[in-house]
Amino acid sequence: MLPADRLNLVQEYYFSRKLKEVAQLNAEGKDIISLAIGSPDMPPSKQTIDKLCEVANEPSAHGYQPTMGTPELREAMARFYKRWYGVDIDGKTEVLPLIGSKEGILHVTLAFVNPGDEVLVPNPGYPTYTSLSKILGAKIVNYNLREDCGWQPDFDELEKMDLSKVKLMWTNYPNMPTGGRAQRATYERLVQFAKAHNIVVVNDNPYSFILSEERLSLMQVPGAKDCCIEFNSMSKSHNMPGWRVGMCVSNPQFIQWILKIKSNVDSGTFRGIQLAAAQALDNDEAWHREYNIETYRRRRQWAEKIMEALGCTYDKNQVGMFLWGRIPDDVQNVEDLTERVLHEARVFITPGFIFGSNGNCYIRISLCAKEEKIKQALQRIEKLKD
């Protein structure tokens, strides 16, 4: 028996593979501190957990749920966009709950891209934009994000490309892995670009609450719904990564096309999770400030000290739950640095090359660890110089 040819197009996800190695090192007693993955280590709000328990105790709550989500969740998502972004969303027709944004990447690609069509993917960028496109037979066309441009698209460069076969463009602001901020001017240019070239732009927007006082959405731009899609996720902003709840916002036609795919793939999320997620979407400003701003701000200070201990430079204005830094000029290979940190300091950080060639000279540190752990990681790394 042989596997499908598409398996030759991708490798096992870097973190899936590397975490096996880290687990083995821990089994050997090495006590690795992980500052690699963006999995929030804090709980959701109390009312969110209480709602999950309440619904789980209802005898009638355990059946199949509508693929398009419960009315309560869709309306909560619409309220979320109105409250935080000032965007009017029809909860019945313009929002679709997702089992996480990664699922949404699959469904949107299936809904809009034929085998052989081209997809614009940022470099550096989230690896799943590339891997799922390859699996589904699309051709990847990378566009550059560079530090000297604030990690924003270079539209002059984009306009010089052959865009005749491009169907979809992935963007991600606030940016991961670089921490580049969302900018209203970038969003406006993206809408213009989408309309001019008949390309669907998809903005992945899970980080707008993390270390950011400004709430920006692509959907704030007039006309964006006509040609764009935006993902949002509760994993980062609501401390719910394992719950797998995201959302997709667009015009009713796009939502129906995506739902057509989704309805053939899954059977809806457990009702308790959906109603608890609806409760979480009503978290107040004080909750978001404590968890999304103050906690990460304290952790970020220690991550900056790690960058400095490694001789890396970084932009203090970046946002999100990671710190992205450029390695010293005398380090030839970023993985040489991250492997030394892993095996000698017993700290797992991420080499930037996994996000694309424009990440070859960078590392990424996750803020998803308690302050004491990040301090301990700093102490270990400082001893590397001894």
Domains belonging to the chain, first-starting first, are 5-43+286-385 (3.90.1150.10), 46-283 (3.40.640.10)
Mean pLDDT along residues 240-267: 95
Report the pLDDT averaged over residues 91-116: 95
Element (H, E) at 351: strand 350-351
Cis-peptide, bond into residue 122, ω within 30° of zero: no
**Would the pLDDT of 265 be above 60?**
yes
For the chain, percent of residues with pLDDT exceeding 90: 90
**How many CA within 13 A on the CB side of residue 237?**
26
Contact 85, 216 (CB under 8 A): yes
pTM score of the predicted model: 0.93
Q: What is the pLDDT of residue 12?
A: 76
Question: How high is the mean pLDDT of the chain?
Answer: 95
With bands split at pLDDT 50, 70 and 90, how would you rate the model's confidence at 267? Answer: confident
| Residue 386, pLDDT above cutoff 70 | no
Residue from 102, 86, 87, 44 nearest 292 by CA: 44
Q: pLDDT tier at 213 (50, 70, 90 boundaries)?
A: confident
Q: Where are the alpha helices (DSSP H) in the chain?
A: 14-27, 46-56, 71-85, 101-112, 127-135, 155-159, 184-197, 224-227, 234-237, 252-262, 271-280, 285-288, 295-309, 334-344, 371-382
Q: Which of 317, 225, 243 is nearest to 43 (CA)?
A: 243
pLDDT value of residue 7: 83
Nearest Cα to 239, choosing from 36, 37, 38?
38
The string of pLDDT tens digits covering residues 51-63 is: 999 999 999 999 9
Q: Percentage of the chain with pLDDT > 70?
A: 99
> How sure is the predictor about 303, in pLDDT bands with cuts at 50, 70 and 90?
very high
